[in-house]
């Protein structure tokens, strides 16, 4: 990627209802960083898991019903709070106390969870435990919200600009971490053109991609030969993207 292309992407930041400070919306944060200076957070980063979620549509007495089903991304099975394993785990509630200073963001997060995990607009990072009811609680430590509901395809990655700039394209200017696998690799491009989104939402994603937080992308890695004068390129072809939710209302 050329320096001119990078500067162009930086210039895409505008006031957006999904992203920028001072705008209406769920207050998504370009500078969200999981590694804050607390021992509690440092421990959480090593033990927490990335999940998708869907709300429970069964009809029975709470807290046995009416909560959420969560599923570890990029994993065939999810370990539940009681030690059992399955394709997904029931939790009676989400603990959003880490977002207590962003009440609007909490509401936006709950509203973004749909009845199906195949097109949920939310990725959650947190820990499962039995909770006060014994039916499970997911303590959410970080969250990402997609602007639109789209059925995603592929695996989940966290992508961000890695500060590498080359004279000849393609350049491995981005890091792509496979979530819950801890596999990190350098890639040359993040392609979001196939994701159903408005121009403003794509601009939000471009801005977040160059911030510390990065973005979460559901998609596939593809090797494209003769991508530029430098040869082949590895491209993350996205089917959906998720932007980070701020812990504080700004």
pLDDT score at 26: 52
Q: Is the pTM of this model over 0.85?
A: no
Instruction: State pLDDT tens for residues 192-208.
Output: 999 999 999 999 999 99
Q: Where are the beta strands (DSSP E) in the chain?
A: 49-55, 68-72, 78-79, 85-86, 89-91, 93-95, 122-129, 137-145, 155-161, 174-178, 183-187, 189-191, 215-228, 231-244
Look at residues 117, 115, 126 and name the one whose alpha carbon lies nearest to residue 179. Answer: 126
Distance CA 211, CA 29 (A): 9
Instruction: State pLDDT tens for residues 44-58.
Output: 455 689 999 999 999
Instruction: State pLDDT tens for residues 121-167.
Output: 999 999 999 988 889 999 999 999 999 999 999 999 999 999 999 98
Distance CA 249, CA 239 (A): 29
């Amino acid at each position: 990627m050329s320096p001119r292309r990078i500067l162009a992407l930086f210039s895409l930041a505008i006031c957006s209802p999904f992203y920028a400070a001072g705008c209406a919306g769920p207050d998504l944060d370009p500078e969200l960083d999981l590694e804050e200076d607390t021992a509690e957070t440092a421990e959480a980063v090593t033990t927490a898991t990335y999940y998708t979620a869907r709300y429970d549509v069964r009809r029975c007495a709470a807290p046995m019903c009416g909560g959420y089903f969560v599923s570890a991304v990029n994993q065939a099975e999810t370990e539940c709070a009681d030690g059992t394993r399955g394709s997904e785990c029931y939790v009676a509630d989400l603990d959003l106390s880490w977002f207590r200073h962003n009440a609007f963001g909490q509401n936006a997060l709950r509203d973004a969870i749909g009845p199906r995990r195949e097109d949920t607009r939310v990725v959650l990072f947190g820990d499962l435990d039995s909770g006060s009811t014994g039916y499970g609680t997911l303590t959410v430590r970080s969250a990402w919200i997609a602007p639109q509901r789209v059925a995603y395809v592929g695996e989940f990655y966290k992508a961000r600009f890695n500060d590498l700039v080359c004279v000849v394209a393609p350049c491995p200017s981005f890091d792509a971490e496979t979530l819950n696998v801890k596999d990190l690799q350098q890639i040359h491009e993040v392609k979001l053109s196939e994701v159903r989104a408005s121009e403003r939402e794509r601009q939000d994603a471009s801005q977040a991609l160059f911030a510390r937080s990065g973005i979460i992308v559901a998609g596939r890695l593809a090797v494209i030969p003769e991508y530029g004068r430098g040869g082949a390129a590895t491209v993350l072809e996205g089917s959906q993207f998720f932007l980070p939710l701020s812990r504080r209302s700004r």
